[in-house]
Chains A and B, each alone.
Chain A
């Protein structure tokens, strides 16, 4: 059967766009990389600080809540060269957690530019329903410390750290193998991606490897 070339072109566009629109109509579409268990697209929302989750990246936080990335890094004493694509759950420290981040952003939204936050345990589950936000009282900006000098700890394993970086930091291959419980993975592989790709939990392995890094220090 012969097909008119123009009809063929219409067919191409109809099939291509129809497939995409079909998925979108079914709710199977997200440009944020995350969907709920029901397949619903999850997008960061400016209106609700409780929508902050551990999987969100620094970039998403900075964009969604209109906060300069440098301010965020400085406020929580994170390394200035921290990749913007790092998930916030991979950066948790005594000072930085999802709860503290919410509190700080709430304070900014309420008019206080940089209300300091208290240290809190870092055990919050990235996917758990968040606790009610405790808003810090507004404080005089003049009374705030002006953290201009970066004092964040070096050699901290994040979601972007590679095995090669561990080797560069002086961690032995044997120590990595022990922590990983197997052969030495490819040096260029990102630890988190490799671990999650194997279907393992990142946090305990990260802790074990961080311990090795700290021992080298």
Chain B
């Protein structure tokens, strides 16, 4: 047995599982955590909107838990020894630190497992897939659109650099002007303040993001998210990476098609892209045993 049978097992087609076992997967666990954190934030947003203004009870704003705020206030927090730009609190800094620590160990897993804005984009993309399955006309229309826009795909790799400009603007602008320059354009802030009828350019960005997610998965995360840019850079130091075993892989591209960030998983041997959000959709989608796995290695160099 053993070495030979194990070797035979590696690369074999995964057996189809049914029932509870098919449900108890890491994808289900990921969705549950995403739902939990979205519900958590929604609770505070609704509580602050309904109770906060008319009661003696002090309620926390949902923005107090946003790591974006931590990014914007971090310069002032450090340079002044503990003060913040308006609308930010110590909680923003703590959540930002938690996100960066998580990125240090598990890459940008915060984006894939926790971030409610990422989850909302996932929901829109899933809705798009469901509708395309049920409405052939829509499926054909989107397929035609993607076919005609295929020549623009070359722009994708360049557009991904926009998020680093946004990151620079977010931190640098807040440091220079002393205010949250990003807040008015922040789609997440716009969503949280929707109940207060606070209409900002961020609401337009949010609309574009959610509509865009109907055609391209996670457009905000791919091209514009400053937090994703920061965690992506830190993830370079992470000991965690994805390993594609070439001997077991049949290059069926299922992994690449499953990746919400549009990474070419099937062409790499170790996937350590700064855009990887560690959602493990590729691992779950891979039809072969041992072809694609999460690995723990040495920091920086991996392996």
The distance from the CB of B215 to the nearest CB of chain A, in whole angstroms, is: 28
**Complex interface: chain B residues within 8 A of A5 (CB):** 25-26, 280, 283-284, 294
B98's partner among A3, A20, A30 (CB-CB below 8 A) is A20
| B110→A190 contact, CB < 8 A | no
**Complex interface: chain B residues within 8 A of A46 (CB):** 56, 58
Binary CB contact string for chain B from 79 to 120 against chain A (1 if under 8 A, 0 otherwise): 110111111111100110111011001100110011000000
| B64→A13 contact, CB < 8 A | no
| A8→B177 contact, CB < 8 A | no
B280's partner among A8, A35, A65 (CB-CB below 8 A) is A8
The distance from the CB of A68 to the nearest CB of chain B, in whole angstroms, is: 9
**Complex interface: chain B residues within 8 A of A196 (CB):** 80, 83, 178
Residue in A20, A43, A64 whose Cβ sees the most chain B Cβ within 10 Å: A20
**Complex interface: chain A residues within 8 A of B101 (CB):** 15-16, 19
B90's partner among A35, A62, A63, A85 (CB-CB below 8 A) is A35
Binary CB contact string for chain A from 95 to 124 against chain B (1 if under 8 A, 0 otherwise): 000000000000000000000000000000
| B90→A30 contact, CB < 8 A | yes
| B84→A3 contact, CB < 8 A | no
**Complex interface: chain A residues within 8 A of B240 (CB):** 3, 8
**Complex interface: chain A residues within 8 A of B91 (CB):** 29-31
The distance from the CB of B264 to the nearest CB of chain A, in whole angstroms, is: 21
* Number of residue pairs spanning A and B whose beta carbons lie under 8 angstroms apart: 142
Q: How far is the CA of A197 from the CA of B177 in the complex (A)?
A: 8
**Complex interface: chain A residues within 8 A of B179 (CB):** 189-190, 193
Once A12-B278, A13-B33 are accepted as A-B contacts, the answer to whether A197 and B53 lie under 8 Å apart by CB is no
> Closest residue to B48 on the A side, CB-wise?
A63
Check A41 for interface membership: any CB of B closer than 8 A: yes
Once A23-B94, A193-B178 are accepted as A-B contacts, the answer to whether A3 and B296 lie under 8 Å apart by CB is yes
A12's partner among B76, B83, B102, B297 (CB-CB below 8 A) is B102
Binding site for B on A (CB under 8 A): 1-6, 8-9, 11-13, 15-17, 19-20, 23-24, 28-33, 35, 41, 43-44, 46, 60, 62-66, 85, 186, 188-190, 193-194, 196-197, 199
Task: Report, nearest first, the 4 A-B pairs whose CB atoms are least far apart.
Answer: A193-B178, A5-B26, A19-B98, A31-B60
Binding site for A on B (CB under 8 A): 25-26, 29-30, 33, 52-56, 58-61, 64-65, 76, 79-80, 82-91, 94-95, 97-99, 101-102, 105-106, 109-110, 113-114, 176-179, 240, 278, 280, 283-284, 293-297
